Amino acid sequence: MATWSAPGKVFLFGEHAVVYGKPAIAMAIKPRVFVTVRKSRNPTRPKSPYINECFRVMGVRGSVYVRSQLQSSSGLGSSAAVTVATLSAINDEFNLGYSREYIAETAFAIEKKVQKGRASPTDTYVSANGGMVLITGESKRRLPPENLHLVVGNTMVPHSTAKMVEQVANLRQHHPTIANPILDAIGELTLAAIREMSNPKELGQYMDMNHALLEALGVGHPASSRLVLAARASGAYGAKITGAGGGGSIIALCPRRAKNRVAGAIEACEGRAIITTIDTDGAREEKHD
Ligand code: PMV
């Protein structure tokens, strides 16, 4: 029996613009998905197309037990984490000897298949490797880890990444002279943020600007606006939508002392708050009997 876990992720900067080749920064966060795999001729498994695909691709049969600290459809990369953890546990339980790189690539291929072509390699890469990653087109570069104090606020409004990506594509088609400079500005903010990673006040201001630009692209939602404003009013350095928007989650960058207050303010606005920070581990073995 092998148990592996893999972390969720947030976009610190650059979502949507990354679809058009601009740079973005994603970071693994502490909440994880835990997956136990056991060799079995009569497998019992949760009804998940991601998990079924993992077994099909790896060519083995086994039972699965999943425990998740991540809500699905909340923009925190739970499907990528389930896929990475399942592949890693299969790899271990059946002694297949695949590398972390192979697991990340296979997880991306599975997400792409299950999501009918609509997946970005960001979630699976970050979940497999952990840490902070700069994504530009096909290239991914690991950034030095920063101990940022984050509060994630889940609006509890489920969103569709595919729908939001399509909405931005339409805006770009109908108003290219407006939408393209917004996407360019988001890319510039990402580059500016890399230089200020250890300066949370400045970084918070960049997050506020990134949020305004995402709203200008039309991916805001009353629920995310409420949480962002509540986080700022209760002492966050800055706050923004994270991921595709249209609901989903927000992140707030906080002084250490303000974390609980910010989390309380988010909960008071009917959001679900998670106090978290960077996860540098990526996929890891929890247990092997
Ligand atoms: O909502 P999420 O976590 O799936 O993030 C989507 C991020 C986008 O930039 C909007 C799309 C993408 O594939 O990068």
pLDDT at 203 over 90: yes
10-46 pLDDT per residue, tens: 999 999 999 999 999 999 999 999 999 999 988 887 8
81-96 pLDDT per residue, tens: 999 999 999 999 999 9
Is the Cβ–Cβ distance between 155 and 227 less than 8 Å? yes
User: How far apart (Å, rounded) are the C-alpha atoms in residues 181 and 187?
Assistant: 10
The confidence score (pLDDT) of residue 45 equals 79
Min mean pLDDT across 5-9, 161-165, 173-177 is at: 161-165
Q: How far are the Cα atoms of 59, 63, 67, 98 from residue 40, in angstroms, in the given order?
A: 13, 6, 19, 21
User: Which atom of ligand 1 lies at the shortest distance from residue 165's CA?
Assistant: 10
The confidence score (pLDDT) of residue 28 equals 98
Burial class (CB in 10 A: 0-12, 13-18, 19+), 41: exposed
Q: What is the mean pLDDT of residues 110-133?
A: 91
Q: Is residue 261 very low, low, confident or very high in pLDDT (cuts 50, 70, 90)? A: very high
> How far is the centre of ligand 1, averaged over its atoms, from the C-alpha of 289 (Å)?
37
- Helices within the chain (DSSP H only): 49-58, 78-93, 100-114, 121-129, 161-174, 176-195, 200-216, 222-233, 259-268
> How far is the centre of ligand 1, averaged over its atoms, from the C-alpha of 78 (Å)?
12
User: How far apart (Å, rounded) are the C-alpha atoms in residues 99 and 86?
Assistant: 14
For residue 157 and ligand 1, the question of a CB distance below 6 A is answered with no
Q: Is 123 a catalytic residue?
A: yes
Is the Cβ–Cβ distance between 118 and 125 less than 8 Å? no
Is the Cβ–Cβ distance between 145 and 132 less than 8 Å? yes
User: Which atom of ligand 1 lies at the shortest distance from residue 16's CA?
Assistant: 9
CATH architecture for segment(s) 150-276: 2-Layer Sandwich (3.30)
Residues 123, 184, 208, 289: which is the catalytic one? 123
> How far is the centre of ligand 1, averaged over its atoms, from the C-alpha of 109 (Å)?
16
> How far is the centre of ligand 1, averaged over its atoms, from the C-alpha of 88 (Å)?
23
pTM of the model: 0.94
225-259 pLDDT per residue, tens: 999 999 999 999 999 999 999 999 999 999 999 99
Compute how many other C-beta atoms are within 10 angstroms of the C-beta atom of residue 95: 7
Mean model confidence pLDDT for the chain = 95
Q: Is residue 48 very low, low, confident or very high in pLDDT (cuts 50, 70, 90)? A: very high
Residue bearing the CA closest to ligand 1, atom 12: 120
CATH architecture for segment(s) 2-144: 2-Layer Sandwich (3.30)
Q: Is residue 274 very low, low, confident or very high in pLDDT (cuts 50, 70, 90)? A: very high
Q: What is the mean pLDDT of residues 137-154?
A: 94
What are the sequence ranges of the domains in the chain?
2-144, 150-276
